[in-house]
Chains A and B, each alone.
Chain A
Amino acid sequence: MDFLASVLDADPLIIARWQFGITTVYHFLMVPLTIGLGLLVAVFQTIWVRTGREHWLRMTKFWGKLFLINFIMGVATGIVQEFQFGMAWSEYSRFVGDVFGAPLAMEALLAFFVESTFLGLWIFGWDRLPQRIHLATIWCASLATILSAYFILVANSWMQHPVGTEIVDGRAVMTDVWAVFTNNTALVTFPHTIAGAFAVAGGFLLGISWYHLHKRRAAGIDTVDDAGRVVVGEDPSHGRGRDRTDYRVWITSLRVGAAVAVVAFLGTAFTGHEQAQLMFEQQPMKMAAAEAACHDGTGFSVLSVGDLSSDGATTCDDVVGVYELPGLLSYLANGDFTTEIKGVNTLLPEYQEKYGTHLPDDPMYGDRAGQEINYLPLMEVTYWGFRLMITFGGMAAFAAAVALWLTRKGTVPGGKWVSRLAVLGIAAPFAANSAGWIFTEMGRQPFVVAPNPDFDGVDQVFMFTAAAVSPGVGAGELLFSTIALTSVYAVLAVVEVVLLTRFVNGGVGSAMPELGPEPDPAAGRSDGHGPGGDRPHGDPGSPGAGNDDVLAFAY
């Protein structure tokens, strides 16, 4: 029981931060796949409607199915996000609500409603809606996911760089909504995040399609001729599930995925560069910590080592730059190779002078009032978070480029290991997204709302994380919720991956049962008008009418 007692004595702030970190990083595993895959499915369906070629229909159905399995997890974990500001961070909510609440409410009203309603129409509307209206529903839903990203990134960017606001009676109030919604931080973060989402979707298409092409080769369905070109075959024992159209599904998906992954990575690189330049101005300490740059300099650290946390607090005393690229850091920050970038040791006194050395003696800080403020974020996290983001992102894009080259003759190489690598590669863009968010959020510490360096004097808008947590909520409550949510999330992660794997292994047939070996009598119909046909509403009374099988697509 000593252990329990000591845990309950723990600072609620620490538990609340872990909870927010775990639930947010987890939520953001589903979000980029939803954003990226949703739009790609809309594009696939558009091409099918315009050309009538069946592999685009199959791609719509198959990737649409995986999209839905993933989407629901994003929905379920998203509610936690909106509620926990008030639950665990009530002082934060009181301080920022006038500004921060608006984009959140708008996200729900203008984006979530569209997303959820039109996705419901898309899932169940295959036979109920005219073809073009049905197509419009997936566009509405997927564009709404992108719109929702904009709203939430406006909110987050305001925490990184508060604009359009001033302090009135101790809280931040909005003075200029246009400034909040055109915050330069938001305008670069939004394309960066969207590009990151497409990197995830591209890698997802690439890995799964590679796996299927590999399995077709391993089963002897597809072969290669003497020149290495693919000879497409089919396996009638699986109905139409592994016919020649099935080959087209995977090779097209693979190429689209690889191209999307490469372009998306270039997008993240350019927007990331813009973002870094802004961050050097807006949060110089974050970028110094990203570099483990203790002293002023121009070099980008390729590897730095040091005992950063000997006494539990990050210090800058013994970080050794093992290898640096001279001038590169200046280029990243300023576009030239000579301007010295301020290091941690220069920045620390500046921050202390501007924002104080100790937390004020204010009841909002609770037991934390008077504590010394450590302006240096956890350097291990920022330094490695920044590098892992770039490394994973770059690896995934390089692999995608290689994949395009390797498949130039129409199929994948036969090797088992390269196929495993392609499947494993699905994880890289996810990891890059997580690392980037962990870097930027941890790098903002000790602030929850980072100060805007353009503001000066007494009306500075910022908030320490130490002041943000709910004063009325105890460590026991926070511990209970953190453990409960983490356990449920862990179980659901396993469930989702098992389900995705099962549907992937089922091939397109898992989303289109009519492709299977024993066609269901209720679903049996000629190829001419597949389940996406725009036939008029069936007779509601006729039992087992073909259009009722639409329910199979859903529940």
Chain B
Amino acid sequence: MEFLPTLWFILIAVLWAGYLFLEGFDLGVGMLLRGFARREDQRRVLINTIGPVWDGNEVWLLTAGGATFAAFPYWYASLFSALYVPLVLVLLALIFRAVALEYRGKAHTDLARSLWTWALCAGSYVAAFGIGAMLTLTTTGLPLNANGDRVGGAFAWFNGYAVLGGLGAVGFCLVHALAFLSLKTDGDIRRRTGRVLRRALPAFAVPLAAWAAVVVAGHGKPVGWALLATAVVVLAGAWAAARAGREGWTFIGLGAFLLSGIAAIFVSAYPVVLPSTLDPAFDLTVQNASSTPYTLGVMSVVAAFGIPLVLAYQAWTYWVFRRRLSERHIPAPHPVRTIVR
């Protein structure tokens, strides 16, 4: 076990977990705009709960991608090129979502506003599904040749695992967003999120647990089983908290469920970062996919300084915007009035 590649494997797992934890609820809030939010004012409450923080959350994705490029160039190259089509869809989804968040409130007509709502909602679903599928496939394997290139055509990546992982991410985002909204809102939205969580919290979390179970069972490591058991226990705890109306504990429990689930997955997969389904000799591992010790050392110094700093000021942001929102806080829209002709 080499120290630096292992450290970076852990760091990348942490970045992905951080991404799913943070953007998990803001992707979920995007999904809940249709189907959960009942009126325009409720949609605006939902969007404003994530307004100050969603962009910072999305940078976790960019950092996870960039860190993979820097620390494991072969992993980055093989995974991203093999999943070309799904990642194009994820990129388009993230583009629509980001632009919709900023432009929706500036829309002039109901039709435009409705289109931006759909862009935000569908973009959130597609992005979550795609990222979930990608993270699953990097642990269950892709048809890679000796050079690490995908063989078998544009859709050779598609299988049941991809669907399971996609559903796992979507389900988690939805339930995590419900728990987030119960902490961040008041009134009708808060009541309804509590009701859904009480009744159906585990249903949303089952696909993610199943994804973790598939990966853990495939490797059979005791520590993987232990982490999976932890995940199931904290999930049960989260549900109990939801039934007891303890909103904070529900959110924390779901977060702990995610973190232990992701830990179970990455611990089981270690040291393979991307298996080849064609020949185990072509597997990418923390050893053969990583950058040199020199580069990893430089990046470790930067990360030791950067990651605590990021956590500190992002935490401060959540503190600044800790207040609950409800429909009555939402002012009437201010249409832009043309003053020059």
A interface vs B, CB < 8 Å? 68-69, 72-73, 75-80, 82-83, 85-88, 90-91, 93-94, 96-102, 104-110, 112-114, 116-121, 123-125, 128-129, 168, 171, 173-175, 177, 211-212, 215, 219, 238, 241-242, 363, 470-474, 476-477, 480-481, 484-485, 488, 492, 495, 499, 502-503, 505-507, 509-510, 513, 516-517, 520, 522-523, 537, 540, 543-544, 548-549, 551-552, 554-555
Contacts and interface: CB of A to CB of B under 8 A. Distances in A.
User: B interface, by DSSP: helix, strand, loop or mixed?
Assistant: helix
Q: Which of B52, B328, B333 has the most CB of A within 10 A?
A: B52
A548 B337 contact: no
Contact of B330 (A481, A502, A551): A551
A109 B15 CA distance: 11
Interface of B: 44, 47-48, 51-56, 58-59, 61-63, 65-67, 69-74, 76-85, 87-88, 91-92, 94-96, 98-99, 101-106, 108, 145, 147-151, 153-154, 291-292, 294-295, 298-299, 302-303, 306-307, 310, 313-314, 317, 320-321, 323-324, 328-334, 336-341
Contact of B98 (A75, A90, A211, A551): A75
Contact of A119 (B55, B66, B82): B55
B73 A93 contact: yes
Given A79-B91, A548-B329, A551-B48, A472 B149 contact: yes
A502 B339 CA distance: 10
A472 B103 contact: no
B79 A105 contact: no
Contacts of B303: 109
A509 B52 CA distance: 23
Given A101-B295, A113-B314, A499-B103, 15 more contacts: A80-B95, A93-B77, A101-B69, A104-B70, A106-B302, A112-B63, A113-B56, A117-B313, A117-B317, A120-B51, A503-B336, A510-B337, A523-B334, A543-B329, A551-B44
Given A87-B80, A90-B80, A104-B69, A72 B331 contact: no
B94 A76 contact: yes
A171 B54 CA distance: 37
A90 B95 contact: no
25 contacts: A69-B103, A76-B95, A82-B62, A86-B65, A86-B81, A97-B72, A101-B70, A102-B70, A105-B69, A107-B66, A108-B65, A108-B67, A109-B310, A120-B51, A125-B52, A168-B292, A241-B337, A492-B99, A505-B336, A505-B340, A523-B331, A540-B324, A543-B328, A552-B333, A555-B105
A477 B104 contact: no
Contacts of B150: 472-473
A509 B81 contact: no
Contacts of B298: 102, 174, 177
Nearest to B144: A472
Contacts of B106: 69, 499, 503
B331 A520 contact: yes
A474 B150 CA distance: 10
5 closest cross-chain pairs (CB), A and B: A97-B73, A86-B80, A101-B70, A472-B149, A101-B69
A493 B77 CA distance: 30
B48 A554 contact: yes
Contacts of B70: 97, 101-102, 104-105
Contacts of A107: 66
A105 B292 contact: no
Contact of B295 (A173, A484, A552): A173
B340 A507 contact: yes
A306 to B, nearest CB: 40
The CB with the most chain A CB atoms within 10 A, among B79, B102, B147, is that of B102
B338 A506 contact: yes
Contacts of B153: 474
Contact of B81 (A88, A129, A507, A517): A88
Given A77-B95, A109-B303, A98 B291 contact: yes
B340 A73 contact: no
Contacts of A96: 73
A506 B95 contact: no
B331 A471 contact: no
A548 B63 contact: no
Nearest to B314: A117
Contact of A554 (B51, B76, B80, B85): B51
A470 B74 CA distance: 12
Contact of B291 (A85, A101, A506, A544): A101
Contacts of B53: 117, 120
B73 A108 contact: no
Contacts of B78: 90
Given A121-B52, A492-B95, A552-B331, A477 B337 contact: no
Nearest to A538: B323
Contacts of B291: 97-98, 101, 173
B95 A175 contact: no
B73 A124 contact: no
A28 B98 CA distance: 17
A215 B306 CA distance: 49
Contacts of B323: 537, 540
A472 B313 CA distance: 41
Contacts of A211: 340
A474 B92 CA distance: 19
A487 to B, nearest CB: 10
A135 to B, nearest CB: 15
A484 B92 contact: yes
A435 to B, nearest CB: 26
A86 B76 contact: yes
Given A76-B95, A86-B77, A97-B69, A120 B317 contact: yes
B320 A129 contact: yes
A109 B306 contact: yes
A287 to B, nearest CB: 31
Contact of B101 (A72, A128, A548): A72
Given A75-B55, A76-B94, A98-B295, A473 B66 contact: no
